[in-house]
Amino acid sequence: MDRSANLDTEELKVQVFKPRDWKFSLLCGWKEALLCPMTREQYILATQQNSLPRTEHPQFYPVGIYGWRKRCLYFFVLLLLVTMIVNLAMTIWILKVMNFTVDGMGNLRVTKKGIRLEGISEFLLPLYVKEIHSRKDSPLVLQSDRNVTVNARNHMGQLTGQLTVGADAVEAQCKRFEVRASDSGRVLFSADEDEIVIGADRLKVTGTEGAVFGHSVETPHIRAEPSQDLKLESPTRSLVMEAPRGVQVNAAAGDLKATCRKELHLQSTEGEIFLNADTIRLGNLPVGSFSSSSSFSSSSSSLTQLFSSSPDYL
Q: Looking at the domain assignment, is residue 175 inside a domain?
A: yes
Task: Provide mean pLDDT across the span 66-70.
Answer: 85
Q: Looking at the domain assignment, is residue 208 inside a domain?
A: no
Tell me: do 11 and 76 sit in the same domain.
Answer: no
Report the percentage of the chain scoring pLDDT > 70.
71
Complete DSSP assignment for the chain: -HHHHHHHHHHHHHHHHSSS-HHHHHHH-SGGGGT-HHHHHHHHHHHS---SPPPSS------S--THHHHHHHHHHHHHHHHHHHHHHHHHHHHHHTTB-SSEETTEEE-SSSEEE-S----SS----S-----TTS------SS-EEEEEE-TT--EEEEEEE-SS-EEEESS-EEEE-TTT--EEEEE-SS-EEE-SS------TT----SS----S---PPTT-------SSS------TT------SSS------SS------SSS------S-----SPPPPPP---HHHHHHHHHHHHHHHH-GGG-
Q: What is the pLDDT of residues 259-283, one digit of tens each?
A: 888 888 888 888 888 888 888 888 7
Residue 313 pLDDT > 60: no
Domain ends where: 139, 160, 182? 139
Tell me: do 22 and 81 sit in the same domain.
Answer: no
Tell me: do 133 and 159 sit in the same domain.
Answer: no
Q: Looking at the domain assignment, is residue 56 inside a domain?
A: no
- What residues make up the domain containing 148? 142-200
Q: Looking at the domain assignment, is residue 291 inside a domain?
A: no
Tell me: do 81 and 40 sit in the same domain.
Answer: no
Domain count, the chain: 3
Report the percentage of the chain scoring pLDDT > 90.
9
Task: Provide mean pLDDT across the span 189-200.
Answer: 89
Tell me: do 135 and 164 sit in the same domain.
Answer: no
Tell me: do 85 and 115 sit in the same domain.
Answer: yes
Tell me: do 153 and 177 sit in the same domain.
Answer: yes
Q: Looking at the domain assignment, is residue 131 inside a domain?
A: yes
Tell me: do 71 and 129 sit in the same domain.
Answer: yes
Q: Looking at the domain assignment, is residue 253 inside a domain?
A: no
Tell me: do 115 and 91 sit in the same domain.
Answer: yes
Q: Greater confidence, 117 or 290?
A: 117
Domain ends where: 200, 216, 244? 200
Q: What is the pLDDT of residue 87?
A: 97
Tell me: do 182 and 171 sit in the same domain.
Answer: yes
Q: Looking at the domain assignment, is residue 271 inside a domain?
A: no
Q: Looking at the domain assignment, is residue 114 inside a domain?
A: yes
